[in-house]
Amino acid sequence: MTGRDPSRLRPWLLATATVVALVLVGGAVWFSRAPGTALLDAPLDVRLDVSPDTAAARAVQDASSLSRQDRALLRRISTRPTALWVSGPPESAERIVDEMVQGATARRATATLVAYNVPGRDCGSHSASPQDLDAAGYRAWIDAFVAGLGTHRAVVVLEPDALAQLDCLAPDRRAERITLLRYGIERIAAQGSWVYVDAGHSGWHGATEMADRLEAAGVAQAAGFSLNVSNFRSTDDQVRYGSEISAALGTSTHFVVDTSRNGRPSDDGEWCNPPGRGLGRTPTVETDHPLVDAYLWIKHPGKSDGPCNGGPPAGQWWPEYALMLARNAPGG
């Protein structure tokens, strides 16, 4: 941990810390290394994978309904490294993750994966899981996810919005979620992958509040945290916010920023398929900032946020929105 004064933590976080301590003593989670070891301190020096099996890539390949100009626009998405999202039942997680990391390895690159299956996901809104796991099921799912990684190292973004949305849960469910996130961090980190637990964005919670939540969830065992996933806030604002969180943690905790759709940023709070947005900075691990490990496309540009602003259900490919993002990309 970071050595911060426990009296600064909110009461429910103190209670959660007690629960987590009991779990650790009981041996129910995995440890393999302490904070500050070589992996955590090393830069994220990897070649980010471009999967040929993303929604954008399939749309370009099946171009019967696209003009040549629209195909060129969609290549601005299909040729960029984009994260692959994993959810669903534990029975399929190992196979899905294995296929993803094996494909990336064959391309001499490193996969970016999103683990998105925590119980009570998204507070019952558009992206909520139709088959919600219980705590035991989630641990089994994380175990299967890690088994799928095998000996391959990946960049893993853990549970977008899970910490930022703690307020929608009853106190006992908050404690459970913190414990499950800690389990996910420790299992994935023990496997050898870079795990970044999600921390929302600058318009959601203050930096000190989010630092408290990250600390309770065990960010000290992770490579860092992620910001702006599926959102539209400016990169500069997220770098400022992430730096404030890192300072509040009392460490030099690193972070990654989702730049998939913030080429025309907005801080108006509209998050569900807002019009007028554009593709953001191309994914890279060369950020020229000591705390920023990467700018990533974590949200797949062109996948709907939900049935709003004319969009299809959450997670479905929406070519019209993808084309708008590509047209509005800076310099496009």
Catalytic choice (49, 212, 237, 305)? 305
Annotated ligand binding at 85? The verdict is yes
* Cβ partners under 8 Å of residue 233, min gap 6: 201, 202, 203, 262, 265, 266, 267
62, two tokens: 């099946």
Contact between 295 and 256 under an 8 Å Cβ cutoff? The reply is yes
| Residue 305 a catalytic site member | yes
The secondary structure of residue 294, as a DSSP letter, is E
Query: Within 13 A of 216's CA, how many CA atoms are on the CB side?
Result: 31
3-class secondary structure per residue, 144-166:
HHHHHHCCCCCEEEECCCCCCCH
231 annotated ligand-binding residue: yes
Region of 120 on the Ramachandran plot (φ > 0 left; ψ -120 to 50 alpha; else beta)? left
Bridge partners, 86 (sequence order): 115
The owner of tokens 């019967």 is 64
Active-site position among 161, 212, 237, 258: 161
Q: Look up residue 254 and give its two tokens.
A: 């690193």
250: tokens are 């009392």
Rounded to an integer, what distance in angstroms lies between the CA atom of residue 253 and that of residue 323? 36
Residue 79, Cβ neighbours under 10 Å: how many?
A: 14
Q: Which amino acid is at 67?
A: S
Residue 300 marked ligand-binding: no
141 is in an annotated binding site: no
Q: Is residue 204 part of an annotated ligand binding site? A: yes
Determine whether 53 is an active site residue: no
Sheet holding 224-227, edge to edge: 84-86, 112-115, 155-158, 194-198, 224-227, 254-258, 292-296
Residue 30 marked ligand-binding: no
Binding site listing? 85, 201, 204, 231, 271, 299
Binding site listing for substrate? 85, 201, 204, 231, 271, 299
Residues taking part in catalysis:
161, 305
